[in-house]
Amino acid sequence: MAAVTRPKVDSISLSDLVEFARDGRIRVPSFQRSYRWERSDVAALFDSILRGYPIGNLLVWQRPAPSGTVVIGHLHVEAHAVGDAYWVVDGQQRITSLVGALTADEDIADPRFRIYFDLQRGTFVSLPRRHQPGEDQLPMSLVLDTARANAWIRARIHLSESQIELADQMVAAVRDYKVPMYIVTGEDDHALRDIFDRMNTFGKPLKSAEVFNALHSITGEQKPGDLRTLSASVRTFGFGELSEQILMQSLLAIRSPKVDRDFRNEFVHDDDRHDAFLRTERALGHVIAFLRSEADIPHAKLVPYALYVPVLARFVATFGPPRGRAAELLRRWIWRGAVLGVAPQGNTVALRQGAAAVHTDPLESAQRLIELLPTTTPWRPDLSQTRLNRAQAKVNILGLLSREPRNLGESDAFGEPVDIAELLEAGTPLVPIDVADVSNGGMANRIVQRPGDVGDLAELLLHQHLDQQLLASHCLDAESLALLRSGRWTSFLERRGTEIETVIYDHVQSRALFGFPDGPDLTELFDEGGELD
């Protein structure tokens, strides 16, 4: 193992921190999560500095960095290559807040960096761009520039002696404040990952996918080499976005069925890591193709249970793309699980059991997955479910999509099939017929359409002539339309609800095939001549 020096403890002033950022010496690795602090967090950070309270330690890895654009909050720096850059391992949110507020100009839109010290109240405040600061509100962006800060104070002759003293006290507190910074040198990134992992047990822990990214993307330039680059690659498949959590679980499931294992030492070396990400990318391409073409699920947001993806990824990586009888049984597993519940003991248990069921033989693996499902019980669609965070709502929408709903918007696309991917990317694909009675009727009161495209949908159905094919695509007919136009709203909902329930039930049954045998395909017992072996 390469030698690693013990972390050196240094104290860095805020002016040095800003100077390092402007010089491109501070770098934020790709694994770091986005800037998440609220403006109240930034104001509280400066209040702690004023009071001399500790704001926590910084942990950086000192090592070379290439030339390129460095982004820290609003600050964009075209940095040269440096041999002793500080790569931030812990402290990104604080560094971004401090550098952002201390370097902001009056045109900055982000209120998290528009921080002012209110000399009347003695507090730090954040102001949106549309709000001009008061005469007694000192911009924090002036504090590190002595001449500009003094000029700001001198220009306000109305300030009292106590206010001027308070301003001087705050400026001195910021200039004199030092933050402890642990500096790790050497090339042993395993030790650095261990430090990061231990530090993440304190404060607000990262999500498991974020920790995985942090521990396994510090080195290496090959792509896909972390969850973010993998996510970008998967988006090119046109299926929508899969969460980093699902991507991580897919990678882990491909390598071993115990997907909730300790992943701190998952990879032997960088080539092993790169191969794992590449293998996962290829497997997910086949998973998406199967979900889209065989399971009739056109978009990631309509996958009833997210755990389907990592289990299918393991299947593909083990046996190749699903084919024949195995593909048919996998489709039954997806649709039966969608309506019966694929995770009665919780997602983690179901994911581990599902991944463990995939081994040895593709057909037997698919059969084992079906056997994991709850015992078949009578099932009917629940039309009250309309929110996309519920599996039954996704099943309902998929049922409506089987009718190939047509566009009702006032555009050149009127009467054309709706683009469900476009609708899902814009938000919910469901529009209520009667907004005033939106709590009533569930799916019977909703149509697959982009919100805002059709204006008053009830008014359109009441007065505009629509041909029967267009009506049928939305589970409407002449009789239901007559009920609506005569003001018999309850009867309308009952009739359309009955039609929608039948459509959804038939759609699910045609794919789940409840009551059908799940053994081998009997036709495989025949040779090409149609006789028994």
Cα–Cα distance for residue pair 122/325, rounded to 1 Å: 73
User: Which amino acid is it at 184?
Assistant: V
Cis peptide before 224 (omega within 30 of 0): yes
pLDDT tens digits, 280-335? 999 999 999 999 989 999 999 999 999 999 999 999 999 999 999 999 999 999 99
DSSP E strand stretches across 57-168: 58-65, 68-72, 75-79, 82-90, 115-118, 123-126, 137-139
CB 496 within 8 A of CB 479: no
User: Which amino acid is it at 2?
Assistant: A
pLDDT tens digits, 152-167? 999 999 999 999 999 9
Name 410's Cβ contacts closer than 8 Å, sequence gap at least 6: 453, 454, 455
The structure tokens 């709203």 sit at 489
Q: At what angle do helices 308-319 and 324-340 cross, to 10 degrees?
A: 170
pLDDT tens digits, 392-450? 999 999 999 999 998 886 666 677 888 888 888 877 888 888 766 767 789 999 989 87
User: Which amino acid is it at 168?
Assistant: D
Cα–Cα distance for residue pair 331/495, rounded to 1 Å: 31
Selection from 35-39, 85-89, 308-312 with the highest mean pLDDT: 308-312
The torsion of the CA quartet 163, 165, 166, 169, rounded to 10 degrees, works out to 160
DSSP 406-422: BP-SSSTTTTSBP-HHH
pLDDT tens digits, 161-211? 999 999 999 999 999 999 999 888 876 666 666 666 666 554 455 566 666
Strand 8-13, strand 178-184: pairing:
antiparallel
Say what the pLDDT of residue 411 is. Answer: 62
Terminal alpha carbon distance of the chain? 61
Model confidence band, residue 217 (pLDDT cutoffs 50, 70, 90): low
In the Cβ-directed half-sphere of 237, how many Cα atoms lie within 13 Å?
Answer: 24
Cα–Cα distance for residue pair 512/337, rounded to 1 Å: 9
pTM for the full predicted model: 0.63
Cα–Cα distance for residue pair 318/361, rounded to 1 Å: 9
On the 0-12 / 13-18 / 19+ scale of CB atoms within 10 A, 407 is buried
Model confidence band, residue 8 (pLDDT cutoffs 50, 70, 90): confident
Cα–Cα distance for residue pair 15/31, rounded to 1 Å: 26
Sequence ranges of the domains in the chain: 8-184, 213-371, 391-512
Cα–Cα distance for residue pair 232/242, rounded to 1 Å: 10
For 342-364, letters b (16+ CB in 10 Å) and e give: bbeeeeeebbbbbbbbbeeebbe
